[in-house]
Amino acid sequence: MELVEKYNLEPKDLQLEITETVYTEEKQVIYSIISELQEAGFKILMDDFGSGYSSLNMLKDAPIDVLKLDMAFMRNLDNENERNNIIVESIVELSKKLNISVVVEGVESEKQVNFLKSIGAEVIQGYYFSKPIPTDEYEKLIEE
């Protein structure tokens, strides 16, 4: 909160990414801290969902606004692994029903984008769109 005040920022304009594994450590303490951050106006993102100890109970109880689906699911998508595809679709659908936004990470192909669009994924991130670029290149890209 000190940095928010120091730089005259609004918490609603900031998103805090917390990896899935953090949610498994001292749950009550972590959940309490995260809930306080949400009450202050910060948007909370659970990063790397599906890479570690995720469970349906975590989705039920964890204070999160956005779920970032781990990129490992996208690697398996190109292998036409039907079980993987069903899991991705189910996570997107379940998150919507829980009123949790989903960001799908690690998207690198048009095939992946088309699949994700077909299942209703709304936010897609990955090298398919752009690899990381320096600030000055980003500014030029935005101007175009």
- Domain architecture of the chain: domains with CATH: 10-125 (3.20.20.450)
Q: Which residue has the tokens 């996208």?
A: 74
* Predicted TM-score (pTM) of this structure: 0.85
Write down the pLDDT at residue 60: 86
Write down the pLDDT at residue 75: 85
Is the predicted pLDDT of residue 56 greater than 90, yes or no?
Answer: no
**What mean pLDDT do residues 55-71 have?**
89
Residue 109, CB half-sphere, CA atoms under 13 Å: how many?
A: 10
Q: What residue type is assigned to position 95 of the chain? A: S
**What mean pLDDT do residues 9-24 have?**
91
Question: Around Cβ 103, how many Cβ atoms within 10 Å?
Answer: 18
Q: Return mean pLDDT, the chain.
A: 91
Q: What residue type is assigned to position 37 of the chain? A: L
Ranges of H-type helices in 2-120 = 2-6, 27-39, 56-61, 72-77, 82-97, 110-118
Q: 46-60, 82-96, 103-117, 123-137: lowest mean pLDDT where?
A: 46-60
